[in-house]
Structure 1
Amino acid sequence: MANTAAALHILVKHQDKAEDILAQLKKGAKFQTLAKKYSNCPSGKKGGDLGEFKRGQMVPAFDKVCFNGELIKPHLVKTKFGWHIIKVLYRL
């Protein structure tokens, strides 16, 4: 079982904005470009790059996607911080 993951994410306040960003990604938009443009998280300045983190470091819904979700495919997740589009790069 993986205990470390690396991911990119985009954080927005509203579901409709998150779904719009997800649609742009499906049409081929670059994740990092959209993160810089839309993300409310400080990581947005780095293209949404969260680097490596350990299991349990993120809020539960975010953690679940990072350690159980499909790699590279963008996932939409709601947490107390807002709506996240998460792209899990790898797990170790």
Structure 2
Amino acid sequence: MARTAHALHILVKHKDKADDIMGQLKKGAKFQALAKKYSTCPSGKKGGDLGEFRKGQMVPQFDKICFTGEVLTPHLVKTKFGWHIVKVLYRT
């Protein structure tokens, strides 16, 4: 079982904005460019890069996607912070 993951994310307040971003990704938009443009998280300036983190370090809903969701596929998840589009780059 994976103990660490490396992920990118885009954080927005509203689901309609998150759905719009997911649509742009499906059409081939670059994840990092969208993160810089839309993310309200400070990591947005770095293209949404959260770096590598341990299992249990993030809020539960986010953690679950990062450690069980398909790698390299954007996922939509809601947490107390808002709506996240999460892309896991790898797990170790």
- Interval of TM-score (by shorter of Structure 1 and Structure 2): over 0.9
**Counterpart of 1:73 in 2: which secondary structure?**
coil
1:30 aligns with 2:23: no
Deviation, structure 1 residue 27: 0.1
Task: Indicate the residue corresponding to 1:21 in structure 2.
Answer: 21
Question: Number of matched residues?
Answer: 92
Q: 3-state DSSP class of the match of 2:32?
A: helix
Q: Secondary structure at the match of 1:44?
A: helix
- Aligned-pair CA distance for 1:43: 0.1
- SS where residue 17 of structure 1 aligns? helix
- Taking only aligned residues, the RMSD between alpha carbons, in angstroms, comes to 0.2
Matched residue SS, 1:71:
coil
Structure 2: gaps (5+ residues): none
Partner of 1:52: 52
Stretches of 4+ aligned residues off by more than 3 angstroms: none
Identity level (%): 80
**SS of corresponding position for 2:71:** coil
TM (normalized to structure 1)? 1.00
The match for 2:74 is 74
Query: How far apart, in 1, do the equivalents of 2:14 and 2:57 lie?
Result: 24
Deviations 1:7-61 (A, max 9, x none): 0000000000000000000000000000000000000000000000000000000
Letter of the 1:3 counterpart: R
Please tell me the residue identity of whatever aligns with 1:71. V
Q: Tell me the distance in 1 between the aligned counterparts of 2:39 and 2:10.
A: 5
